[in-house]
Structure 1
């Protein structure tokens, strides 16, 4: 019998039919912020300063702007189906969808807005895979946040009911001013607000 050397990672071996959304709650020792996309586990790379600053800036801005019946949720999963349980960086959901402190995911019909901050390892997922899945699940609004030469740029999308896909609503630099999903005015240009 061979014994693995100490500190050797043991990777979860997928079942024949792939992982399911419920497996995320049962698999031991998964890295933080593990997502499920198309039955595959997706591990997040270490965050960079831009990523955490962008999340914090938008989280605080959304908390200040949101109506009292809505909640800002950070880095929690949403179960889209049996084989998809992504984790948006931020979500807006009704407070009624926040059940208890043991909750680990949300339903797609509860998500009003999903926000993804693009990292070097998530470019394709955040620009293509996740928007298609989010639009297909019926999320009315999607924001993709990019680091464009050191400037925070928020790409805003709204779901078109007729096509079931997202239509671009604009790219915001310096200031994010919107009327939907509710009135929002966030200063994106002041780097001190990120800290």
Structure 2
């Protein structure tokens, strides 16, 4: 997750949802429904502006979504083998091929 500067200054274990700017989910084979359906609903309810989902099957890809009118809308899909520029919440160039599952 990415938070506002200072969000962990007093408490390094938990962060208030209003300080979170980005959540990234790594989709696991045993938890696909939770990672793709249920968790995004909770993040949207908490009004977290950015949600990224990293999928590994069949190849690494990063799905970037932004919160619009209370739900996430996919804005970018970064595919393995190609560098993609993502602009929010900060500019970053990423190739999902360099990201591996644990």
Aligned length: 99
Higher relative contact order, structure no. (Cα contacts within 8 Å, ≥ 6 residues apart)? 2
In 2, the alpha carbon distance for the partners of 1:105 and 1:131 equals 19
Q: Which residue of 2 aligns with 1:131?
A: 40
* 1:164 matched to 2:70: yes
If the length of structure 1 is used for normalisation, what is the TM-score? 0.47
State the SS of the aligned residue for 1:122. helix
State the SS of the aligned residue for 2:90. coil
In 1, the alpha carbon distance for the partners of 2:6 and 2:65 equals 25
Indicate conservation of the 8 Å contact 1:154/1:176, yes or no: no
- Structure 1 stretches of 4+ with a deviation exceeding 2 A read 187-191
Indicate conservation of the 8 Å contact 1:140/1:159, yes or no: yes
Indicate conservation of the 8 Å contact 1:158/1:169, yes or no: yes
Indicate conservation of the 8 Å contact 2:78/2:94, yes or no: no
Indicate conservation of the 8 Å contact 2:8/2:14, yes or no: no
1:179 maps to which of 81, 87, 98:
87
Q: Which 5+ residue runs of structure 2 have no aligned equivalent?
A: none
In 2, the alpha carbon distance for the partners of 1:188 and 1:176 equals 9
Quote how far apart the aligned CAs of 1:179 are. Answer: 1.2
Indicate conservation of the 8 Å contact 2:78/2:95, yes or no: no
Residue deviations 1:137-158 (CA, integer Å, cap 9, x gap): 1000001111122x21001100
Q: Which 5+ residue runs of structure 1 have no aligned equivalent?
A: 1-90
Which protein has the bigger strand share? 2
Q: Which residue of 1 aligns with 2:52?
A: 143
